[in-house]
Structure 1
Amino acid sequence: MEKIMLTLDDQVDEATKKMIQKLIEKKIKFDHYKNTHFFILSFFILYCLTLLFLSYTLVIKPNEYSIMNSITELLGTNYLIFLLLLGVLLFGALKFYFEKKEKTETEFHDLRCEIIEKSRDLWDGEHWANRHHVFDQMKNQYDINLYHESK
């Protein structure tokens, strides 16, 4: 984070540096939540497929002629109920991280759009040419597009 701040010393004022630093922090936070959500989603899908396979082979296949026997066997097996509850817990964590990811994405996008809209005020006359260097650094180092408002 300090690397980009060192190269911005003469190009922008303190307020702009703070805004850019906040934008970088929000991008890092958004990437963290996005990666965590993806990991939990992948694990949840793998977990559900494994649980479905176990339930089918251990409970449903031996009792395929009677639905009531299958349900009774499924509810009578303690570890399968525990595994189902663990799946519900994973789903809750997935929902929690999805909401966090959406919130941080909105905050990041709003701040990014604010910087884009105020770019004429932030980079006044003599620094207007240096604006492209800052935007290129942000794009290359942090994958933050400050040229356009679209995601």
Structure 2
Amino acid sequence: MEPTIILLDEKTDQATKQMLQSVVDRKKKFEALKKKHLHSLWATMIIAALFLVYLYFYIVVPYSYSFFKMFSVFVDHFSHFLFLAAAFGLYGYMILIKKKLDKAEKEFQLLRCEIINKSKQLWEKEDEWKSRHKVFEMMKKNYDINLYHENK
């Protein structure tokens, strides 16, 4: 469990601390997938751009007089298929990471909204309710998780 969550005062019970830890874990997972998706996006774009530049300068320009000749030169070299497979493979990987990213964001937002909706139950007593803003401020400051409003 995160040290700042452990150090919350006695006005926050263990179940609430566990919910806060879960939302922090999901935020970290979401951020890691976001970074991974960005890297895969850039890798896909770079490989595709390099492949298109290669095709243009080494196949299209020298053999532009005949489409059949361009096609046959492309097919003659196995390395062209490897390059093409790498580009499509990276694209598929990027799509897979994007789906995982969307799922992680949805899980994170659902848990965050659940904490917001259940805040009256989590801090039932009057003194707990008055001190909950300290927990919300700590979550916003340390983990950039907004528990004040349901909107992103």
**Deviates most, 103-112 or 68-77:** 68-77
Corresponding position of 1:115? 115
**Structure 1 counterpart of 2:130, one-letter code:** A
SS at match of 1:129: helix
What RMSD, in angstroms, separates the aligned Cα atoms of the two structures?
A: 1.1
Q: Per-residue displacement from partner, 1:34-62 (whole Å, max 9, x unpaired)?
A: 11001100111111111110111111110
Cα distance between partner residues in 2 of 1:87 and 1:51:
8
Corresponding position of 1:147? 148
TM-score between the two structures when normalised by the length of structure 1: 0.96
Corresponding position of 2:139? 138
Gapped runs of 5+ residues in structure 1? none
Aligned pairs for 1:24-103 within 5 A: 24-103=24-103
Deviation at 1:79, TM superposition (A): 0.8
Could you tell me the percent identity over the aligned residues?
A: 36
Q: Segments of 4+ in structure 1 off by > 6 A?
A: none
Q: Per-residue displacement from partner, 1:48-92 (whole Å, max 9, x unpaired)?
A: 111110111111110111111111111112111100011111111
Cα distance between partner residues in 2 of 1:7 and 1:134:
11
Kept after mapping to 1: 8 A contact 2:6/2:17:
no
**Deviates most, 8-17 or 138-147:** 8-17
**Structure 1 counterpart of 2:60, one-letter code:** I
Gapped runs of 5+ residues in structure 2? none
Cα distance between partner residues in 2 of 1:141 and 1:16:
17
